[in-house]
Amino acid sequence: MSAIRIIVTLFMGAAALALIGVPEALAQETVKLDAAATAWVLTATALVLFMTLPGLALFYGGLVRAQNVLSVLMQCFTITCIVSVLWLVVGYSLAFSDGGGLNDMIGGFSKAFLWGVGTDTPASAAPHLPENVFFMFQMTFAIITPALVVGAYVERIKFSAMALFTILWLIVVYAPVAHWVWGGGWLGAMGVQDFAGGLVVHATCGTAAFVIARELGGRRGFPTDLQPPHSPGMVMMGAAMLWVGWYGFNGGSALAADGGAGMAITVTHISAATAALTWMIIEWAGHGKPTLVGIATGAIAGLATITPASGFVGPLGALAIGIIAGGLCYLGVGLVKRRCGVDDSLDVMAVHGIGGCTGTLLTAVFGAAALGGLGASKLTIIGQLGIQAVGVVAVVAWTALATFIIVKVVKALVGLRVDAEEELEGLDVRTHGERGYLL
């Protein structure tokens, strides 16, 4: 009789809950958030933002003429603010929400303004993390990508053109590609391996840099009469901040506080150091002197190239990738500026574009267990290499076409280039009414 009473009581309770409704948190299985992973991703978020402000700003600022240093800092700071707001309004939703019938290509608007996201709402792309933490981490990637493009157009672009280009480019290029690879889109479903942004960040920014630099035209005196970087010391400080921040960039992409994050940081450091030495040796042998700007640029090349592979390769793979990155990106500078005649001012295509695409392809090679990798792919090296090549071609082609159209639209609406007098005097005074140095 007692058993019957218990069954009746449970039945009546269930009926009552059905009538009055139950909280969603009780109706569904509780998702346990990982406190350690959350703490690490919060730290990584700060490190990646540190890469743009102040790392990239100082790195780029030191490479230009003294009359333009503040304009570069202003561009990086402004892009950070624009992308932060735009990411909240629509960018994150387009990259990481369900796009319905277009889900393979683009997300929808269900996560616009982070609508309905609470402090403990799990992220759909990483259920062990709060959605607001994942949102912030991905925001820092969205910030640095168009900020990297700044290096292509420094010293000669209108401030209004920079701002409008950033808005359109984030929506039309970055968000869709992020969805393709990381947000449930077609490249991720195909099996493309891009751990931290070889395609999403570096291939897109490098390709965009080449297109906009070609459309904008070269700086005054290009290619034979250009002034050297005004502050190699500032370049080195910025590169050092980028190097440290890259631990969050690659290590944070593990989305966990574990050995995978540790290995990602390890191979990141090895690749950067190896590429820096490789660049320095080539420059020393070819020009008779090793330069601070050269070794710093080599380190960035190593960091960009290891990025897609950092969660899939081991230390020996990182060493090989660093050597290849230092040599190939060094040659890429001459290819873009001398062979192609494009004044990609601070070598975004050579360092990030070539580096990111190369690293994406090498992921298939050095990610194999037989070559010291983690063996994450179930395919042969050739099979995975084919998939990686599809990813590279698709991302580069889409970025090039979309960027070309965006540049034409921006040119028609606000114009692209400052006038000759403004370029000669420098953007610091003429555009912003300030001076970096009182000489």
DSSP secondary structure letters along 38-90: HHHHHHHHHHHHHIIIIIIHHHHHHHS-GGGHHHHHHHHHHHHHHHHHHIIII
Per-residue pLDDT of 280-306, as tens digits, reads 999 999 999 999 999 999 999 999 999
Please check whether residue 26 lies inside any domain of the structure: no
Please say if the pLDDT value at position 135 is more than 80: yes
Per-residue pLDDT of 302-322, as tens digits, reads 999 999 999 999 999 999 999
Phi, psi of 193 (to 5 degrees): -105, 115
CATH number of the domain bearing residue 403: 1.10.3430.10
The pLDDT of residue 28: 37
| Of residues 6, 408, 395, 438, the one with CA closest to residue 198 | 395
Please say if the pLDDT value at position 252 is more than 50: yes
The pLDDT of residue 397: 98
- Dihedral sign, CA of 10, 14, 15, 17? positive
Please check whether residue 153 lies inside any domain of the structure: yes
List the Cα angle 142/148/151 in 5-degree steps: 155
Please check whether residue 16 lies inside any domain of the structure: no
The residue with tokens 């931290």 is 196
Taking residues 63-67, report their average pLDDT: 97
Per-residue pLDDT of 78-109, as tens digits, reads 999 999 999 999 999 999 999 999 999 999 99
Which domain does 201 fall in, by range? 35-432
Burial class of residue 67 in the structure, from the number of CB atoms within 10 Å of its CB (0-12 exposed, 13-18 middle, 19+ buried): buried
The pLDDT of residue 24: 36
The pLDDT of residue 8: 37
Phi, psi of 122 (to 5 degrees): -75, 145
Please check whether residue 13 lies inside any domain of the structure: no
The pLDDT of residue 140: 98
Taking residues 110-133, report their average pLDDT: 96
The pLDDT of residue 4: 41
Please check whether residue 423 lies inside any domain of the structure: yes
| Averaged pLDDT of the chain | 93
Please check whether residue 324 lies inside any domain of the structure: yes
Angstrom distance (rounded) from CA 167 to CA 146? 9
Q: How many domains does the chain have?
A: 1
Taking residues 21-33, report their average pLDDT: 49
The residue with tokens 């090039």 is 400
Structure token digits, residue 341: 């005649």
The pLDDT of residue 30: 55
Phi, psi of 130 (to 5 degrees): -65, 145
Please say if the pLDDT value at position 26 is more than 70: no
**Beta carbons within 8 Å of 435's beta carbon, 6+ residues apart:** 70, 428, 429
Please check whether residue 338 lies inside any domain of the structure: yes
Q: What percent of the chain has pLDDT over 70?
A: 93
Per-residue pLDDT of 153-211, as tens digits, reads 999 999 999 999 999 999 999 999 999 999 999 999 999 999 999 999 999 999 999 99
**Beta carbons within 8 Å of 277's beta carbon, 6+ residues apart:** 295, 298, 326
197: left (phi over 0), alpha (psi -120 to 50) or beta: left
C-beta of residue 360 within 8 angstroms of C-beta of residue 203: yes
The residue with tokens 């490789």 is 278
